Amino acid sequence: MDSQLTDKELNALVSLLDDTDQEIKDHVRGKIISLGNDVIPFLEDKWESSFNPELQKEIEELVHELQLNLLRQRLASWKNSEEKELLEGLWIINTYLYPELEFEQLNAIMQQIYFQVWTNFKNELSVYDKIKLINNVLFNDLKFSANTKNFHSPGNSMIKTVLETKKGNPISLCSVYLLVARKLGLPIYGVNLPNLFVLTYKSGKFKFYINAFNKGLIFTRQDINNYLEHLKLEPQPAYYEPCENTDIIRRTLRNLVFAFDKIGEVDKSKEIKELLEILDKD
């Protein structure tokens, strides 16, 4: 925490948060935000010991703003990093709803899932048998499945929720699948289809597609053609070729915007749109 401010001074600052003078209030907010995330535990203590609903609301907004600033910084550094590690990107998005969530917690759960597939995995298996094996562990043993009941729930875009409930939307289920497959060294990538996110296995003479939203169903390029025809859309290279991790994070954020709009959470939707702008900035 900023060593220039004692607890006494911080207390005085916080007590001014519900001042009737807007100018004073704005000045105080700016000052507290400039102290950064180290001030959050102090603010949370103040919230707990306060009996003033107005002040509590001000503190909640401040804590949210501080956490959002941290998320923005993390997302910007992720975007500029060389690896653009998928799980890290998904974790950063998760901290929007679960600011306390540590990357290590998510990583540990993913490790367990990977380990369960890996213990049954044999390199000498044929390509299709390898896919069958992943499908079997993810969709039969671990019971991952499509969340068709609450398709538009924000939780479907939160990998933490998806790993806990074993239910997700196309992109979150593909993300889990992809993380496992890549760790096994398989040439599997995401593919950005309209209204549907799928995977492709692409290596040498092997090129086929996998629908994680439909228990890992294998399909072909012709199926994509039929799908596009059905949607009355012109084929584009992006509908057949691997996409980047940035595209996966971008699409996950777009799903969140849609989910928050759907349940009338306008402020949240607006904040997620701002996060999208960070990814779209050159």
pLDDT for position 1: 47
- pLDDT at residue 279 is higher than 70: yes
- pLDDT tens column, 116-143: 999 999 989 999 999 999 999 999 999 9
Question: How much of the chain exceeds pLDDT 90, in percent?
Answer: 82
Cross-strand pairs, 201 = 188, 208
CB 238 within 8 A of CB 132: no
> With bands split at pLDDT 50, 70 and 90, how would you rate the model's confidence at 89?
very high
Taking residues 224-232, report their average pLDDT: 97
Q: What is the mean pLDDT of residues 149-169?
A: 93
Say whether pLDDT at 282 is over 80. no
The answer to whether the beta carbons of residues 171 and 177 sit under 8 Å apart is no
The mean pLDDT value for 132-157 works out to 94
Whether pLDDT at 78 is above 80 = yes
Q: Encode pLDDT of 177-223 as tens digits.
A: 999 999 999 999 999 999 999 999 999 899 999 999 999 999 999 99
Burial class (CB in 10 A: 0-12, 13-18, 19+), 102: exposed
User: pTM of the prediction?
Assistant: 0.91
> In the chain, what are the domain boundaries?
7-80, 86-280
- Distances 52 to 15, 47, 49 between C-alpha atoms, Å: 10, 9, 9
Please tell me the predicted confidence (pLDDT) of residue 200.
Answer: 98
Structure tokens at 87: 């799980």
CB atoms within 10 A of CB 209: 19
| pLDDT in the model for residue 2 | 45
Give the pLDDT band (50/70/90) at residue 4: low
167-173: average pLDDT: 96
pLDDT 10s digits, 20-41: 888 988 898 899 999 888 899 9
Higher per-residue confidence, 10 vs 218: 218
Please give the mean pLDDT across all residues of the chain: 94
Dihedral angle computed from the Cα positions of residues 249, 252, 253 and 256, in that order, rounded to the nearest 10 degrees: -160
